[in-house]
Amino acid sequence: MSVTVARQRQSTHAFWRRAAAGPSPGKSILAVLLCTAGMLIFPYAVSEYQVLVAISFLTFAIVTVSQVLVWGFGGILSFAQAAFFALGAYGYAVIAGNLDETTGPVIALVAAPLVVMVFAGFLGFFIFYGRMGAFLLGIVTLSVSLMLGAFLNQTGDASYHIGKVQLGGYNGINAIPPLLVEGTPASTQVLYFLTAAVLLAGVAGVALFRFHRVGVGIRAIAENPVRAELFGYNVRAYRLSIFMAGAALAAAGGEFYAIWGSYTSPSLVTMQAVTLPVVVAAVAGRDRPIAAMLAALVYSAISVNLASSGASYALIILGVGLVVVMLVAPGGVGGWVAALVNRLVIRIGTRSAESPHTAASQDDVVELGSTPGSGA
Amino acid sequence: MMATQSATGSRGLAAPLAVNNLTVAFDEFRALDDLSLDIPAGSCLGLIGPNGAGKSTLFRAILGLVPMAAGTIELDGQPITGLSTTRRVRRGIGTTLQSGGVFLELTVRESLVLAARRASRKWDIAGALETHQLAELADVSVTELSHGHQQRLELAMAEVSSPRLLLLDEPVAGMGPMETQAMVQSIQAVNQAGPTVVFIDHDLAFVRALAQEIAVMHQGRLITQGTPDEISADPEIMSIYFGAAEGHATAGATEAAAQETGTPQ
Amino acid sequence: MSAVISVAFQACQIFGIFLIVSLGLSIIYGVLGVMNLAHGELMAIGAYMVAMAVNAGLPLVAGIVLATVLVGLMGLVLDRAIMRRLYRRPTDAIVVTFGISLVVTQAMLLIFGSAQNSLISTPGGEVTVAGASIPTYRLVVTLVGVLAAYGLYALFQRTRLGTNIRAVSSDQDTAGCFGVDTRATFTVAFVLGSALAGLAGALVAPTVSLVPTLGQGFVVYAFVIVVVAGERVFQGTVLASAVYAVLNAVISYQFGSFYGLLALLGVTLVLIRFLPGGFSSLLRRPRVVAAL
């Protein structure tokens, strides 16, 4: 009988080990549901002003999730996500500013990401069909983003306009038309829930995309494009597509930023703004969208608080924090936390299985001849 | 050995391959030198020869990974000489590599889904897992598999990609006798159910057990082609591989070992 | 005509700087595989140190040497404290170097303030060439750049240290199996790269306004040069630096940073399209490794 108990313990261990190991759709959905619950409760637990500030955090989280999609899954080190964010904001401002105030914002909401996606397709065409290595890709996207900033900064003259909307140089575009809900500008709460919905949909989409056939293809291409090509995958087409999808997502974040603040400016594409999504994604774990979302929210909260309390030292503390985090948690915090959670799950799961009364149950007896648990 | 009407069209699931006067050169060095080879649909051809003979280069030329200085290649009677790698693969060429042939980031199941591409619903992934004895490892990350398991996975992936021509580059390298024997049977099963198989290996017992025909290459040229018995009876071939005197003895020993350790299926 | 001459010599100076910065970045990238986002900040530190040294009464040359050595030492400290834990983690290294650049930039802002400091004057007077008066300093910088490149070349090709660096760049594990102390080599590479950044910054100090972000403009070009140079690091970097220096001098200075970056991007995309192996592929037909 003791052999049977031992075998059963082994297979239970194996079960929990397997359950804990590796990402799964179930785990992702659970995590997203938990985050959704948190975001639903949040506005009722804090002041309206804090909800307002939180909206900008959500927009940054959207960009960071787009970074994970393009970098963590697609293997493309893109420094252009912030640029797409900025283009989404500017795009919304230009489109909404040129149309009437009731339907304009809604059209702009849909159109801006599409326009940015097309632009990303154009840029991506040169990048991916030019056979660039990863490092150069990073540099090229970095240059493009800085270029965008340089360009926007010098558009102060009135001759720089698209339709009725002036680009505004380093001041940017102000008085962006708000989103109207039944004739009045959307309230903080409505805007919060809308932005959160987009963020959660995005993060769920990215997290589950990993398991879809196309997602598997992308991940394989990211790891070994030559080998993927030998399985018949059109590597360039896949990369271009995911680059465009990431751009559209980042642009969605940008347009909510424009609605939130009623303004947009070239400060969205400074060197720092451009490297930030990459850095936050790396800290969280570049292929962990949910962790990246949370990391982005935490980072935003910290930097805003630091800025208000001790402006001069804020960025120094941040820089030090980044260094420390990476030294302590190799591969990102997300993996570190996940490993911790896994160990806990295994420990709790196997401990409950070892309690005496479970061994007596007929259902738990494992046949002697079967192979022992062969989990990971 | 010119290409003739032996490229009589495919057996549906399997395509014949014709290589005509193929030359692949890197500056002055000729990796393949006016090589011609005919492989009928559905056959199983073993390609042997010392290191540097050009075997892997031939595979690369078929896949379009190296430029050809002269010659043509026809798959199922159709020339594929100008086509890109992706196009050729889509015409039905599958391959396993000497190394780096699997994706460490994926799980076993995901690897098969990847290989099956659009046909991933049609293909019975679970069945394929069973056939290649990978069912218990289905959700394990490939990076955690042993080398032998990875090679088995790679074969399963190649099968599931529904090729009409399958190129296997040293499929049993590093495997022990039992695993090697199991691979013989797996590959035979794949060959009988589907594609033409061409494989490279140095384990002569394995080659004899699996191949219907053997082609011998040396210094970029095809030396001879024949059945396994014909080849191993040829002293010149043996002396290319081993020294002349040891040739027979060594071949005999590995063969005997394989017979003793054969596993029941 | 004199304008053309003037621009030409400006290009020479920029060439010298690009060469030094890019080689430093190349060494760090080649050996550690790290995209050093703090490289521009190391340049800036070099510039500030020279300014401080000169304002304290030291002659410029001594100041430059001092700055180079000090930045090299900084690199050593950074390596011992932080970078050596990141040897096989290039992704994490991106974050860390970014964090370092953040800290350094902010620290410099705090210490020196964002107001431009007194520019140290360009020494040496001027020389007249075909009607244009060229500051002698430009020629000096160009010369230093070329000498530094040559010195590095000699180091890499003719010393054991250089061989070790090349071996580790090429294949870390195999080099280790052959007895190369890879960790020490990493340290040397990082220190060397840092010192070069410091040297570049020190050289540039008399000619630009001293702000903590002065390295950024150079470093973006340096990143591109490192990649576009190709396999033959030295020759490729020399060629690439020359091309981009001309680009920078002609377009950025005349038309502004936007057009400069636009030109940078355009040229780079064209180069990649037609020369996937970088400038190195122009130099000699590539030797091909044996077929199998």
Secondary structure (H, E, C), C202-222 = HHHHHHCCCCCCHHHHHHHHH
Lowest mean pLDDT among A362-366, B142-146, B149-153: A362-366
The rounded distance, in Å, linking the Cα atoms of C107 and C78 is 15
Contact pairs from chain B to chain C, CB under 8 Å:
22
Pair B81, B143 in one domain: no
Q: Which of A271, A274, A312 to mutate against chain C (most C CBs within 10 Å)?
A: A271
φ/ψ bin of B146: left (φ > 0), alpha (ψ from -120 to 50), beta (otherwise): beta
The rounded distance, in Å, linking the Cα atoms of C209 and B177 is 73
* Contact between A316 and C102 using a beta-carbon 8 Å cutoff: yes
pLDDT digits (tens, 9 = 90+) for C100-134: 988 898 888 888 776 555 566 666 667 776 667 77
The rounded distance, in Å, linking the Cα atoms of A110 and A115 is 9
Closest CA in chain A for residue C223: A139
Tell me, yes or no, whether B9 lies in a domain: no
> What tokens appear for C137 in the block?
């300093």
Tell me, yes or no, whether C292 lies in a domain: no
Say what the pLDDT of residue C289 is: 40
Say what the pLDDT of residue B175 is: 87
Residue A224 at interface with chain B, using a CB cutoff of 8 Å:
yes
Q: In terms of residues, how long is chain C?
A: 292
Name residue C69's beta-bridge partners.
Answer: none
DSSP secondary structure, A292-354, as one string: HHHHHHHHHHHHHHHHHHHHHHHHHHHHHHHHHHHHHSTT-HHHHHHHHHHHHHHHHHHHHHT
Q: Which of B105, B145, B169 to mutate against chain A (most A CBs within 10 Å)?
A: B105
Closest CA in chain C for residue A152: C258
> Dihedrals φ, ψ of B145, to 5°?
-80, 155
**B117 CA: distance to closest CA in chain A (Å):** 8
The rounded distance, in Å, linking the Cα atoms of A368 and C21 is 68
Cβ neighbours around A44 below 10 Å, total? 8
- E-only strand ranges, B182-241: 196-200, 213-218, 221-226
Please list every residue in chain B whose beta carbon sits closer than 8 Å to the beta carbon of residue C285: 27
Name residue C132's beta-bridge partners.
Answer: C129
Tell me, yes or no, whether B86 lies in a domain: yes
Please list every residue in chain C whose beta carbon sits closer than 8 Å to the beta carbon of residue A321: 99
φ/ψ bin of C187: left (φ > 0), alpha (ψ from -120 to 50), beta (otherwise): alpha
The domain boundary residue, chosen from B162, B182, B200:
B162
Q: Report CA-CA distances (Å) from C130 to A147, A185, A197.
A: 36, 67, 68
Name residue B218's beta-bridge partners.
Answer: B221
> What tokens appear for A214 in the block?
């196309």
The domain boundary residue, chosen from B162, B178, B204:
B162
φ/ψ bin of A21: left (φ > 0), alpha (ψ from -120 to 50), beta (otherwise): beta
Helix (H, G, I), strand (E, B) or coil at B141: strand
Please list every residue in chain B whose beta carbon sits closer than 8 Å to the beta carbon of residue C290: 26, 29, 52
Tell me, yes or no, whether C226 lies in a domain: no
Say what the pLDDT of residue B156 is: 92
Pair B139, B77 in one domain: no
Tell me, yes or no, whether B131 lies in a domain: yes
Pair B139, B229 in one domain: no
CB neighbour class for A376 (10 Å; exposed up to 12, middle 13-18, buried from 19): middle
Say what the pLDDT of residue B61 is: 92
**C283 CA: distance to closest CA in chain B (Å):** 16
**A284 CA: distance to closest CA in chain B (Å):** 18
**B123 CA: distance to closest CA in chain A (Å):** 13
The rounded distance, in Å, linking the Cα atoms of C204 and C120 is 11
**B93 CA: distance to closest CA in chain C (Å):** 20
Say what the pLDDT of residue B111 is: 93
Which of A126, A146, A326 lies nearest to residue C96, judging by beta carbons?
A326
* Contact between A147 and C265 using a beta-carbon 8 Å cutoff: yes
> What tokens appear for A360 in the block?
């007596």
**Is the separation of the CB atoms in A151 and A83 below 8 Å?**
no
Closest CA in chain A for residue B89: A232
Whether pLDDT at B220 is above 60 = yes
* Contact between B29 and C292 using a beta-carbon 8 Å cutoff: no
* Contact between C292 and B51 using a beta-carbon 8 Å cutoff: yes
Tell me, yes or no, whether B88 lies in a domain: yes
* Contact between A133 and C227 using a beta-carbon 8 Å cutoff: yes
Pair B183, B78 in one domain: yes
* Contact between C292 and B52 using a beta-carbon 8 Å cutoff: yes
Which of B105, B120, B137 lies nearest to residue A223, judging by beta carbons?
B105
Q: What does pLDDT average to in each consecutive run of 10 residues of chain A (376 residues)?
A: 66 64 83 93 90 94 96 91 95 89 86 95 83 74 85 80 81 83 81 94 94 92 90 91 96 94 89 86 89 92 76 74 83 81 79 56 40 37
Whether pLDDT at B248 is above 60 = no
Please list every residue in chain C whose beta carbon sits closer than 8 Å to the beta carbon of residue B51: 292
Whether pLDDT at B224 is above 80 = yes
Whole domain around residue B235: which residue ranges?
17-92+168-259
Q: Which residue has the higher pLDDT, B262 or C185?
A: C185
> What tokens appear for A154 in the block?
């010098």
Pair B67, B198 in one domain: yes
Pair B143, B34 in one domain: no
> Dihedrals φ, ψ of B41, to 5°?
-60, 135
Which ranges of chain C have pLDDT less than 70? Answer: 114-125, 129-131, 276-277, 283-292
Say what the pLDDT of residue C164 is: 79
Pair B32, B54 in one domain: yes
**Is the separation of the CB atoms in A222 and A70 below 8 Å?**
no
The domain boundary residue, chosen from B131, B147, B162:
B162
* Contact between A227 and B136 using a beta-carbon 8 Å cutoff: no
pTM, two decimals, is 0.82
Closest CA in chain A for residue B88: A232
pLDDT digits (tens, 9 = 90+) for B43-100: 999 999 888 888 999 999 999 988 888 899 999 888 898 888 888 999 999 999 988 8
Please list every residue in chain C whose beta carbon sits closer than 8 Å to the beta carbon of residue A279: 94-95, 98-99
Q: Which residues in B have their CB inside 8 Å of a CB on C?
A: 24, 26-27, 29, 31, 51-52, 54-57, 66
Say which CATH number the domain at B208 has: 3.40.50.300
Tell me, yes or no, whether B264 lies in a domain: no
Tell me, yes or no, whether B97 lies in a domain: no
**Is the separation of the CB atoms in A13 and A372 below 8 Å?**
no
Residue A371 at interface with chain B, using a CB cutoff of 8 Å:
yes
Say what the pLDDT of residue A57 is: 95
**Is the separation of the CB atoms in A273 and A11 below 8 Å?**
no
Pair B239, B123 in one domain: no
Please list every residue in chain C whose beta carbon sits closer than 8 Å to the beta carbon of residue A283: 95
Q: Report CA-CA distances (Å) from B143 to B2, B106, B137, B157.
A: 45, 8, 12, 16
H/E element holding B109?
Answer: helix B108-116
Pair B192, B245 in one domain: yes
Whole domain around residue C182: which residue ranges?
2-211
* Contact between A227 and B161 using a beta-carbon 8 Å cutoff: no
**Is the separation of the CB atoms in C206 and C121 below 8 Å?**
yes
Closest CA in chain C for residue B25: C291
* Contact between C291 and B24 using a beta-carbon 8 Å cutoff: yes
Residue B162 at interface with chain A, using a CB cutoff of 8 Å:
no
Say what the pLDDT of residue B252 is: 47
CA angle centred on A189, ends A184 and A190, rounded to 5°:
55
Tell me, yes or no, whether B4 lies in a domain: no
Which of A217, A231, A376 lies nearest to residue B89, judging by beta carbons?
A231
Pair B151, B212 in one domain: no
Tell me, yes or no, whether B2 lies in a domain: no
Number of domains in chain B: 2
Pair B55, B172 in one domain: yes
CB neighbour class for C230 (10 Å; exposed up to 12, middle 13-18, buried from 19): buried
* Contact between A139 and C223 using a beta-carbon 8 Å cutoff: yes
**C292 CA: distance to closest CA in chain B (Å):** 6
Say what the pLDDT of residue A228 is: 92
Q: Which residue has the higher pLDDT, A126 or B151?
A: B151
The rounded distance, in Å, linking the Cα atoms of C281 and C279 is 5
* Contact between A319 and C100 using a beta-carbon 8 Å cutoff: yes
Residue A352 at interface with chain B, using a CB cutoff of 8 Å:
no
Number of domains in chain C: 1
Pair B35, B69 in one domain: yes
